[in-house]
């Protein structure tokens, strides 16, 4: 996938400009996609608490639920949905979603991403312009969680920006990785993929004492704009800004995860 980035960026930039102008953005097919997923985020910027809820569902039945206030995650839960139900849910989203982009500030808004081997859908809209379908998705995902089995919490988000290209990896304990690639606007999903790195390997990449490494670290890689690791394991949770390339627990964790996710790329 890395080999195609240089060629793809020129086309992506033109598509993004056109997408903003007409309110529509759609990616080319994801030929290396090994599955499908959707992600829905409901974000309310109208209050100081800035609450947001996020759900991400894969076709293998992994359902991630996150609750945030003021940009800080308050709750991470992992559920297992039956694969038949997961595929039905994804088909429902694909059949009703369409790419659209509408920006707003200080508002209630929705972000919806869907991706499979046929391509990617990216949707952002304020509440007053959102479709009833999109407004209903957070509740729909919550109902899926209520009818699913809750798993032991384990989740990692590895994110970094390099030359304006944002890479976001969601890592789960069964070895599933959901990869999202954004341009300078994080609402514009340009590319996505799902792949497997092996059960337990993400958990093994967390350095000892990572969960006590609170605070922000400097970005020691000159070629990176910024980076961070967010991890939840059982009752432990931490969010640390770092680009790795050092000896602290957060830096060693970032480096180990970066090496791990790039093995399959």
* pTM metric for this prediction: 0.84
Residue 104 has a pLDDT of: 79
**Residue 1 clears pLDDT 70, i.e. is over it:** no
8 Å CB contact between 187 and 126: no
**Residue 75 clears pLDDT 50, i.e. is over it:** yes
Residue 56 has a pLDDT of: 98
Mean pLDDT of the 211-230 span: 83
DSSP string for residues in 162-192: ETTEEEEEEEETTSEEEEEEE-SSTT-EEEE
| Range ranked top by mean pLDDT from 2-16, 92-106, 156-170 | 156-170
Mean pLDDT of the 163-180 span: 94
Say whether 142 sits in a helix, a strand or coil.
helix
**Residue 12 clears pLDDT 50, i.e. is over it:** no
| Arithmetic mean of pLDDT over the chain | 84
Confidence of residue 27 (pLDDT cuts 50, 70, 90): low
Confidence of residue 264 (pLDDT cuts 50, 70, 90): low
Residue bearing the bigger pLDDT, 9 or 1: 1
Q: d(Cα 131, Cα 136) in Å, to the nearest integer?
A: 9
**Residue 134 clears pLDDT 90, i.e. is over it:** yes
Question: Phi, psi at residue 212, to the nearest 5°?
Answer: -115, 10
Domain count, the chain: 1
* Helix or strand run (H / E) with residue 237: strand 236-241
Any idea which of 27-41, 102-116, 133-147, 157-171 has the lowest mean pLDDT?
27-41
Residue 46 has a pLDDT of: 84
Distance of CA 233 to the CA centre of its chain: 18
Task: Give the structural domain span for 114.
Answer: 2-262
- 3-class secondary structure per residue, 9-73: HHHHHHHHHHHHHHCCCECCCCCCCCCCEEEEEEEECCCCCCCEEEEEEECCCEEEEEEEECCEE
Listed in sequence order, the residues at least 6 apart from 89 whose beta carbon sits closer than 8 Å to its beta carbon are 38, 57, 81, 140, 144
Any idea which of 165-169, 180-184, 249-253 has the lowest mean pLDDT?
180-184
Tell me the two tokens of residue 264.
């399959």
Residue 14 has a pLDDT of: 35
Cα first-last separation, the chain: 6
Q: What angle do CA 179, 117, 120 make, to 5 degrees?
A: 65
| Range ranked top by mean pLDDT from 42-51, 58-67, 215-224, 255-264 | 58-67
Any idea which of 4-8, 129-133, 151-155, 226-230 has the lowest mean pLDDT?
4-8
Q: What is the pLDDT of residues 86-105, one digit of tens each?
A: 999 999 999 998 888 887 78
Residue 10 has a pLDDT of: 39
Residue 82 has a pLDDT of: 95
Q: What angle do CA 18, 23, 25 make, to 5 degrees?
A: 60
Listed in sequence order, the residues at least 6 apart from 146 whose beta carbon sits closer than 8 Å to its beta carbon are none
Residue 118 has a pLDDT of: 87
């Amino acid at each position: 996938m890395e080999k195609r980035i240089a060629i793809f960026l020129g086309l992506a930039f033109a598509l993004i400009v056109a997408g903003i102008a007409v309110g529509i953005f759609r990616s080319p097919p994801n030929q290396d996609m090994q599955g499908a997923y959707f992600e829905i985020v409901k974000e309310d910027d109208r209050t100081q608490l800035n609450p947001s809820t996020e759900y991400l569902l894969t076709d293998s039945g992994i359902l991630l639920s996150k609750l945030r206030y003021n940009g800080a995650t308050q709750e991470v839960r992992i559920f297992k949905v039956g694969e038949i139900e997961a595929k039905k849910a994804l088909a429902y989203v694909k059949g009703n979603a369409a790419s659209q982009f509408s920006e707003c500030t200080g508002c209630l808004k929705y972000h919806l991403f869907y991706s499979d081997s046929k391509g990617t859908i990216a949707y952002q809209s304020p509440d007053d312009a959102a479709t009833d379908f999109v407004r209903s998705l957070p509740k729909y995902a919550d109902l899926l969680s209520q009818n699913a089995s809750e798993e032991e919490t384990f989740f990692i988000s590895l994110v970094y920006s390099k030359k304006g290209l944002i890479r976001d990896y969601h890592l789960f304990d069964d070895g599933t990785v959901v990869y999202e690639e954004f341009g300078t606007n994080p609402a514009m999903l340009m590319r996505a993929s799902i792949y497997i790195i092996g059960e337990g390997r993400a958990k093994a990449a967390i350095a000892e004492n990572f969960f006590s490494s609170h605070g922000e670290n400097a970005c020691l890689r000159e070629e990176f704009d910024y980076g961070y690791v967010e991890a939840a394991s059982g009752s432990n949770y931490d969010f640390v800004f770092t680009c790795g390339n050092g000896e602290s627990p957060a830096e060693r964790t970032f480096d180990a995860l970066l090496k791990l996710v790039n093995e399959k790329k």
